A = this chain, B = another copy of it.
Amino acid sequence: MNYADRLDQAVLTKGNPCLVGLDPHLALMPEEFAAVRDPEATRQECANDVTRFLLGILDAVADVVPAVKPQLAFFEVLGPEGLAAYEAVVAASHERGLIVIGDAKRGDIGSTAAAYAEAFLTGGPGSDPATLCDALTINPFLGSDSVQPFLEACDAAGAGVYILARTSNPSSAEFQTQGSPTLTERVADAIGAWGAERIGTCGFSSVGAVVGATHPSELVALRERMPHTPLLLPGFGAQGATAADVVGGFTEGCRGALVNSSRGILFAYRQGDTANWKDAARLAAQQMAEELSLALSSPA
């Protein structure tokens, strides 16, 4: 089944559009993970901590949310051992029935993009299919020949991509909102075109867009500009966006967009009523799902 239909089914099954960002900031992990704050620890010891922490998070949220998004940077900082932890976390996510979106934001010339597409979506030599992502985030700066290998991977593997259109960070407007049409609008039109031949029976394409939840009015305009594009909305929680801010990204109920929260769920224990980080993460995911369900079921 193509990515768009698998995702739509997962969202409808869980009844919410929550995406848990797996960003294991080493400095924020609970006290029981001693290696990540021991300057003498080896990379293997740190990577073991990261894996154990994230498997705990997966157990806490797997029956609540439809999807997770591991962020490659926090694994690459631990070198080969970190990349092995990443693969273990992807495989464990699949075992728990979760959709996995690799947050890699890769973008390069065609022959190099093909290697990245193989690495994350279709599988390189000797790789285990369980460690591949369902979808990958990519950066459009280099234009369509840099995107093409990922589109081919979508077709070959039933995978998806989310292309950066309007990011959630404070200085994102520096380049993205300049010009007329703006860079974001040009990218959005390209995303619509790249996705047009990849629309599933659910009505959404396997070619998605990343649009920061921190820009609610632009989100409404971009939803209209890309009617068949599934959106990935970062910026909820720690970055400041609320349930009301993301409503404009959805098409009908909880369909058409995923809302990401990373630190707000993984490190909920730091805010906490509870010392148990797994319980805190589960509660935070449930609360996010409820907030979004409420916002998405209210009459506009």
Contacts and interface: CB of A to CB of B under 8 A. Distances in A.
- Taking the full assembly, how many copies of this chain does it contain? 2
Contacts of A127: 43, 79
Interface centre among A126, A145, A186 (most CB of B within 10 A): A126
Contact of A74 (B39, B77, B115, B173): B115
A10 interface: no
A113 B119 CA distance: 21
B125 A142 contact: no
Given A36-B125, A141-B167, A116 B174 contact: no
Contacts of A234: 109
A294 to B, nearest CB: 28
A199 interface: no
A188 to B, nearest CB: 12
B144 A174 contact: yes
Contacts of A80: 80-81, 83-84, 87
Interface in A184-239: 186-187, 190, 234
Contacts of A43: 124-127
A173 B143 contact: yes
Interface string A16-48: 000000010110000000001001011111100
Contact of A174 (B79, B81, B143): B143
B77 A115 contact: yes
A87 B77 contact: no
Contacts of A172: 142-143
Interface residues of A, number: 70
Interface stretch (A52-60, A100-108, A273-281, A282-290): A100-108
A271 interface: no
A179 interface: yes
Contacts of A180: 179
A171 interface: yes
A79 B143 contact: no
A297 interface: no
A11 interface: no
A28 to B, nearest CB: 10
10 contacts: A42-B126, A43-B127, A76-B116, A77-B115, A78-B125, A79-B127, A105-B139, A107-B141, A143-B172, A144-B174
Interface of A: 23, 25-26, 36, 39, 41-46, 71, 73-74, 76-84, 87, 105-113, 115-116, 118-120, 124-127, 131, 139-146, 164, 167-176, 178-180, 183, 186-187, 190, 234
